[in-house]
Structure 1
Amino acid sequence: MTARISLDPPRSLLFRAVSWYSNRVYGKVVDPLRAGAHHTGVLWACSRLELSVGRWKRLDPQLKALAVMASAATIGCGWCMDFGYWVNHSQGMDPRKLSEIPAWRDSDVYSPLERDVLAYAEAMTVTPPQVEDEMVERLLGSLGERALVELTTVIAVENMRSRSNSALGLTSQGFKDRCELQPPGASGQRASATDR
């Protein structure tokens, strides 16, 4: 599938600034920025939201990553799965936990708390949402109120990202391909940046 919107937006001052940042941090300008740059107000608001979300620290980062990826998988956002895999792999997350998210119920790599987070993310993401009181009670007991609110909000934010990216036809940008993945039990050195 190709993008349903041009990924060559007007080169406003804001787009040039976020492009510089994206190149610096991710090694390329990410397609959601290119798509959003057709509307400077949207690009500005989304950029501010992403910077704010990045500063939330009440929830364990790996639980947050699992929730975001489960939401993206439920929606079917190829761009979000590709990017999320790369970001979380580069931060040291177990590659099996990342790759098995779409079929997490059949996997043995997740703890009971991680399974509760994955179930909650899916329940929030389906339409209509299927969140049950028991889910929230278990998570509240494990995480506390602040972390539960953060979890709920990052899932809602990922729903916005994934649904927007899917609707605009944004697909993989090859981030996952930049991960040096070894099959289970294989050994070896990570490839250098010049080998990729």
Structure 2
Amino acid sequence: MARISLHPPRTLLWRVAEWYSRRRYGAVLDPGRVYGHHPRVALSIVRLERGVAKWKAGDPLLKHLAVMVAATRIGCSWCVDFGYWEAEDLDLPADKVRKALAWRDHPVALVALANHRSRVNAGFGLSSQGFSDRCVVPLTGSRRRGAGDG
């Protein structure tokens, strides 16, 4: 269960964020619901994530696998859940995503960002939102633990 309410005030900014999230991801993302309580924090996170999305250096598959490895090492079930959905959305090879947990160290700066996301989501008490349920690559039971179950 989330430590912060997933029902932010219905401001104009929040309604726009809900619309975008549903349009882009098919659901309103739980981290966005938490950030919705503080508009300045929400906008700062949006700027961070949009900036990272523009990074062109490096192989997209390697970057995504690095994020997945960091998320699993930290134990952020929300991040792993969303990561599986995102891999499918990006048309990344399912066999390589399955093997991501066996990979060791990846020299990619995104590990630090994944670490940040995972720790924030774990701090919020967020767990899987069900994105991986719509994917070809199933999660095993050991990776479906909540952020606080570690």
Which of the five TM-score ranges fits, normalised by the shorter chain? Answer: 0.7 to 0.9
Report the residue type matching 1:59 in the other structure. Answer: G
Residue aligning to 1:162: 118
Structure 1 gap segments, 5+ residues each: 105-114, 121-138, 140-150, 183-196
Q: Deviations over 1:126-163 (max 9, x none)?
A: xxxxxxxxxxxxx5xxxxxxxxxxx22x2211111100
Contact 2:65 2:97 in 1 (8 A): yes
The TM-score, its normalising length taken from structure 1, stands at 0.66
- 1:39-95 CA-to-partner distances (Å, cap 9, x unmatched) read 111101001111111111111100110110011001000000000001112222222
Q: Any runs of at least 4 consecutive aligned residues in structure 1 with deviations exceeding 4 A, and if so which? A: none
Aligned runs of 1:43-62 on 2, under 5 Å? 43-62=42-61
* Equivalent residue letter for 1:101: A
RMSD of the alignment, in Å? 1.6
**Share of identical aligned residues, percent?**
47
Matched, 1:119 2:105: yes
Give 1:123's aligned residue. Answer: none
Change (3 A) 1:34 1:167: same
Q: How many residues align?
A: 138
List runs of 5+ in structure 2 lacking aligned partners.
139-150
Taking structure 2 as the reference length, what is the TM-score of the superposition?
A: 0.85
1:181 is displaced (CA, Å) by 4.7
Residue 131 of structure 2: aligned partner? 175
In 2: Cα distance, 1:31 partner to 1:99 partner? 24
Distance in 2 (CA, whole Å) between partners of 1:181 and 1:99 is: 7
Whichever residue aligns with residue 122 of structure 2, its letter is: S
- 1:29 Cα shift? 0.5
Task: Give the Cα separation in 2 of the matches to 1:70 and 1:100.
Answer: 10
Which structure's CA Rg is the greater one? 1
